[in-house]
Amino acid sequence: MRCAKCGATAVIGMRQHRLNLCAEHFVAWVPDMVARTIDKYAMFAPNERILVAVSGGKDSLALWDILIRQGYETEGVYINLGIDHEGYSDASEDKVRAFAEEHGSVPFRVVNVGEVYGKTVPDLAHTRRGKRVCSVCGLVKRHIMNRVASEGGYAAIATGHNLDDEAATLLGNTLHWQSAYLLRQAPVLPETHPRLARKVKPLCHLYERETAAYALLRGIDYVEEECPYAVKAKSIVYKGLLNQLEHRSPGTKLQFYLEYLHAREDGLFRQEEPAPIENTCPQCGQPTMATGLCAFCRLWEKTP
Amino acid sequence: MRCAKCGATAVIGMRQHRLNLCAEHFVAWVPDMVARTIDKYAMFAPNERILVAVSGGKDSLALWDILIRQGYETEGVYINLGIDHEGYSDASEDKVRAFAEEHGSVPFRVVNVGEVYGKTVPDLAHTRRGKRVCSVCGLVKRHIMNRVASEGGYAAIATGHNLDDEAATLLGNTLHWQSAYLLRQAPVLPETHPRLARKVKPLCHLYERETAAYALLRGIDYVEEECPYAVKAKSIVYKGLLNQLEHRSPGTKLQFYLEYLHAREDGLFRQEEPAPIENTCPQCGQPTMATGLCAFCRLWEKTP
């Protein structure tokens, strides 16, 4: 297998692009792909300040690495959820901290949920029967991310979702015909309120194995373990199914996602203006669709 | 495993319904489910005459069996496609003929494509490069079915598509975001022209293993082989994937199909009136969207 650019021994073959590359050219190709993705979906402008949500995993650290190298003004934010199974959250925080130091001490902050709010995410989920940990965790992370972005005046929140993540989410939403999600899943979720920043996914055209290979070749030290709560998540099942299809027909995952975006663009779904967000949570001051406390504050309110 | 109705030994467990049944109660339950499906989607009225498209396989023969037992006035139509791989088409025709005789010589006709039109479907597909056999075959069958139904004055054409067929088709249409199909796949395709009869799928709530079990328990002798051209069809891959999900979460296949119908009913997709069909093929006289010959006649026209 030879590199398509220089003829050297290739380290990776991307069958969906019919492209084999050597280490050097692959490490250059990934940021190019990210730059084209940022451009294609008009994610952000070169002068905009970006908050990068980093988990300590390969995807978010690869994303941060690429944005730093491309000269964007970024700040990393790590939310320590307090998952202590084999020290998961603290070990992840260490990886992020080490990354920031190695990258010339780029701006970086930690929000420790247990210290700031008095309870960790597993504590919260435990005392809120009927709510799954992943759903509580998502709510907590979105709230904190929005708050930090709003306070810091960031133009956008960038997350490390790769194509496999997006395709698995799409498959799950499709298998259950989750209309609300099918109407809006996208590489860019626009700002719906001055205090709810734009969300962008610059890795959404890259396969998981490509972000992993990039992190490896760049020597990025990341947490390899899946979140212990996510191990049984449906998304892992969906990724497995999509990989079976991909194996049989290279490009299936990418087409599934891109053709969904095209079909929506072409008017497959009903047209819907997002409802304006007019209320403010009396407790945290964040915008909310609820009339009283926002969902995040209700979460704590109801916890014994 | 005990029958939920009588406590006898159950022969089948339907995890998606949490229902185990003995042979006697299962053989009564299947036609009940079919009757409820016909009713739910207003497929046809008791006095309407139904053309049943029979292939010699378990599904279409089980369907015909059920409709006959329920007192519907039916005629079976078998389209002999001229597939001679191990005598596939002729063997299938023999099964249908034997079935009709065993059921009190119910009305039944054969349209032999090779004899009527001078070429078999494999011949046709061979001389039409770029068109796959399955696509040629679908076009030929639709044309003949419409013609027979129109000439015989049938209210509807009933086909034996089961839930696995429908869910696999839906998954394929979803993985490629085939908008035209996603906007109209349904248990009933209404009559769009006086000469294009309503199409109905009364088995669309039954799993493949249930129609197979019904045929077995009723002693229906059917062709067990898949069509030799369908063996590599994507639909078989999609059925396999859906069965993996079903195994993990019983009911997934059924929900995937039903929730799609609900989501569409609830307005997930854009609203679209089907375009009126205003032209008539100058050769065969069937209605067509084309301005000259219909797609069926063009198929023969261009064949050397």
The string of pLDDT tens digits covering residues A1-23 is 999 999 999 999 999 999 999 99
Burial of residue B83 (number of CB atoms within 10 Å: 0-12, 13-18, 19+) = buried
Look at the alpha carbons of B67, B70, B74, B80 in this order and tell me if their dihedral is positive or negative. Answer: positive
**In terms of pLDDT, which residue wins out, B111 or A86?**
B111
> Would you list which residues of chain B are within 8 Å, Cβ to Cβ, of chain A?
174-177, 179, 182-183, 237, 241, 244-245, 248, 252, 255-256, 259-260, 262-263, 266-271
| Predicted confidence (pLDDT) at residue A288 exceeds the cutoff of 70 | yes
Using CA atoms, how far apart are residues A244 and B44, in angstroms rounded to an integer?
40
- Residue-wise pLDDT for B201-260, tens only, equals 999 999 999 999 999 999 999 999 988 888 777 889 999 999 999 999 999 999 999 999
A–B interface: beta-carbon pairs under 8 A: 60
pLDDT tens track for B243-287: 999 999 999 999 999 999 999 999 999 988 888 888 999 999 999
A252 vs B175, B252, B269: nearest CB = B175
A293 burial class (0-12, 13-18, 19+ CB within 10 angstroms)?
middle
Residues of A in contact with B179 (CB under 8 A): 263, 266, 268
Residues of B with CB below 8 A from A175's CB?
A: 245, 252, 255-256
Q: Beta-carbon neighbour count of residue A39 at 10 Å?
A: 9
Do B31 and B69 form a contact (C-beta atoms < 8 A)? yes
B268/A177 CB distance under 8 A? yes
Q: What is the pLDDT of residue B128?
A: 63
**Residues of A contacting chain B (CB within 8 angstroms):** 174-177, 179, 182-183, 237, 241, 244-245, 248, 252, 255-256, 259-260, 262-263, 266-271
For residue A129, what pLDDT band results from cuts at 50, 70 and 90?
low
CA gap A31, A185 in Å, rounded: 23
Strands A12-14 and A19-21: antiparallel
8 Å CB contact between A182 and A173: yes
A266 with B179: Cβ contact below 8 A: yes
**B179: nearest CB among A177, A244, A263:** A263
How far does B226 lie from chain A, in Å, by closest CA?
Answer: 21
Confidence band (pLDDT; 50, 70, 90) for A74?
very high
Return all residues near A63 (Cβ < 8 A) that are at least 6 apart: A34, A52, A158, A159, A160, A202, A203
User: What average pLDDT does range B172-182 have in this prediction?
Assistant: 95
Minimum-distance CB partner of B270 among A177, A259, A269: A269
Q: What does the alpha-carbon distance between residue A193 and residue A295 come to, in Å, rounded to a whole number? A: 17
Residue A214 clears pLDDT 70, i.e. is over it: yes
Name chain A contacts of B237, Cβ cutoff 8 Å. Answer: 245, 248
Residue A131 has pLDDT above 70, yes or no: no
Q: Per-residue pLDDT for B153 more than 60?
A: yes
Contact A259 B176 (CB under 8 A): yes
In chain A, list all ranges with CATH 3.40.50.620.
31-272
Work out the minimum CA distance from A252 to partner chain B, whole angstroms.
8
Q: What pLDDT, in 10s, does the model give residues A17-69?
A: 999 999 999 999 999 999 999 999 999 999 999 999 999 999 999 999 999 99
Q: Is the pLDDT of residue A251 over 80?
A: yes
Among the listed residues A274, A123, A286, A73, the one whose alpha carbon sits nearest the alpha carbon of residue A190: A274
Distances (CA, A) of A58 to A27, A164, A203, B258: 14, 13, 11, 38
Q: What is the pLDDT of residue A300?
A: 83
What local confidence, expressed as pLDDT, does residue A273 receive? 82
Contact B175 A245 (CB under 8 A): yes
Read off the pLDDT band of A279 (50, 70, 90): very high
Question: Of A129-133, B17-21, B146-150, B188-192, which range is least confident?
Answer: A129-133
Kindly provide the ipTM of the predicted complex, given to two decimals: 0.91
For domain B31-263+276-301, the CATH architecture is: 3-Layer(aba) Sandwich (3.40)
Q: Is the dihedral of CA B171, B186, B75, B38 positive or negative?
A: positive
pLDDT number for residue A233: 80
How far A194 CA sits from the closest chain B CA (Å)?
29
- B304 pLDDT band, cuts 50/70/90, is low
Whether residue A216 has pLDDT greater than 60: yes
Considering only the beta carbons, identify the residue of A175, A244, A271 that sits closest to B256. Answer: A175
Structurally, what CATH architecture does the domain formed by A31-272 represent?
Answer: 3-Layer(aba) Sandwich (3.40)
pLDDT of residue A229: 86
DSSP A8-52: SBPSEEEGGGTEEE-HHHHHHHHHHHHHHHHHHTT---TTSEEEE
What is the rounded distance in angstroms from the CA atom of residue B69 to the CA atom of residue A56?
A: 65
Q: How far is B277 from chain A (nearest CA, A)?
A: 22
Contact (CB, 8 A) for B91 and B55:
no
Phi, psi of B253 (to 5 degrees): -65, -45
Place of tokens 């030879």: A2
The per-residue pLDDT for range B36-72, each reduced to its tens digit, is: 999 999 999 999 999 999 999 999 999 999 999 999 9
Cα separation, B140 vs B146, in Å, equals 10
**Which tokens in the block code for residue B195?**
């000469």
pLDDT surpasses 60 at A169 = yes
How sure is the predictor about B130, in pLDDT bands with cuts at 50, 70 and 90?
Answer: low
Residue A79 and residue A117 in contact, taking contact as beta carbons nearer than 8 Å? no
Predicted local distance difference test score (pLDDT) of residue B276: 87
Name which residue leads in pLDDT, A133 or A250. Answer: A250
Share of chain A above pLDDT 70, in %: 98
* Strand-pair category, A188-189 with A287-288: unpaired
Are A175 and B267 in contact (CB < 8 Å)?
no
Decide if B241 and A237 are in contact by the 8 Å CB cutoff.
no
Whole-structure pTM value = 0.94
Q: Average pLDDT over chain B, rounded to whole?
A: 94
